[in-house]
Amino acid sequence: MSRNVRITLHPSFDVLAATTAARLITRLLDVQSERGEATVVLTGGSVGIATLKAVAESPARLAVDWSKVNFWFGDDRFVETASADRNAGQAAAALLDHIDVDPARVHLMAASDEVANLAAATADYTSQLAEAARLEWENDDDADSPQVPTVPRFDVLLLGLGPDAHIASLFPDLAGIRTQGVPVVAVNNSPKPPPLRVSLTLEAINSAQEIWIVAAGADKAAAVCLGLAGANPVQVPASGAHGVGKTLWLIDQDAAAKVPEQLMRRDS
Ligand code: 6PG
């Protein structure tokens, strides 16, 4: 886990979404040129989805071989497939339906009309991740892990940020943020509606090569400040997010309002 934390300020929500989209396209291109494919973990939330919409509107999107991009989700709501609350549905409307993805490379958390219950959805995603990790490990001659990991390589993992500093569906002081030893957790008491969700755990999130935390608005200012100040992750989940290679905080001016100058310049 790296402490390579970078903070980038943006003048507005729209500029944040547009530049995060440009970064994502560039990151996917760089990884594809090196590895032939790339893997991104998407997030729900206003900035996360606006970023996907900005990708769909960017001419640069045409440079990416989307059929060689693996899509995963950091969390999703355990509601019906057609519900407007589904992150998968919002991501499809914003981007996935508008690019040439390989359906076999789009990995969704099960909806409530697809499996019997939340436990089944959690088990299903755990299996999807394990299968992808097994295939990757078997095909990677210089795999540095002596045993099959529980999740595949995540080249970039996007996280929205709640006003309470939650990330994915890991909320302060609740069971999810405390869960260890497994990559996926069932959430049945989300303070942010809807209450039932499936989420990656902090361990799975922190396996990503790069984590990008995206936040905009004055209501996120306290969460950004606490997240950057290194508070206890159980109380401030965002402070526990650290990518293997890099952690980017991509924020707008309003969300940065409470961050002390010395933290803004942090170079660690
Ligand atoms: C979810 C998200 C959640 C979201 C934050 C920020 O499924 O609700 O994954 O973690 O990213 O709550 O959402 P806003 O940007 O809409 O405030």
Looking at every residue in the chain, the average pLDDT score rounds to 96
Q: Is residue 268 part of a domain?
A: no
Write out pLDDT tens, residues 8-51: 999 999 999 999 999 999 999 999 999 999 999 999 999 999 99
60 CA → ligand 1 middle, Å: 26
Residue 230: name the closest of 199, 251, 259, 257 by CA.
259
What was the pLDDT predicted at 136? 94
Asked if residue 131 belongs to a domain, the reply is yes
Q: Which domain holds residue 143?
A: 5-263
Tell me which residue has its CA closest to atom 11 in ligand 1.
160
Residues with CB under 6 A from ligand 1: 43-48, 75, 87, 160-162, 166-169, 192
Query: What is the C-alpha separation between 78 and 59, in angstroms, rounded?
Result: 34
In a domain, 21, yes or no: yes
Residues 205-225 have pLDDT tens digits of 999 999 999 999 999 999 999
Q: Which atom of ligand 1 is nearest to the CA of 214?
A: 15
Ligand 1 centre to CA of 141 (Å) is 37
Number of domains forming the structure of the chain: 1
Give the Cα separation of 218 and 233 in Å (integer): 21
Q: What is the CATH number of the domain that holds 249?
A: 3.40.50.1360
Contacts of 236 (CB under 8 A, 6+ apart): 165, 172, 223, 226, 227
Q: Distance between the two ends of the chain, CA-based, in angstroms? A: 12
Model pTM greater than 0.95? yes
C-alpha distances (whole Å) from 212 to each of 5, 21, 86, 103 are 10, 11, 21, 25
**Domain assignment of residue 151, yes or no:** yes
Q: Which helix (H) or strand (E) holds 137?
A: helix 118-139
Mean pLDDT check: name the lowest of 84-88, 147-151, 205-209: 147-151
> 76 is written with which tokens?
């999703």
Sheet containing 197-200, strands listed edge to edge, beginning at the edge strand earlier in sequence: 75-77, 197-200, 184-187
Q: Which of 157, 135, 147, 134 is nearest to 211 (CA)?
A: 157
Element (H, E) at 199: strand 197-200
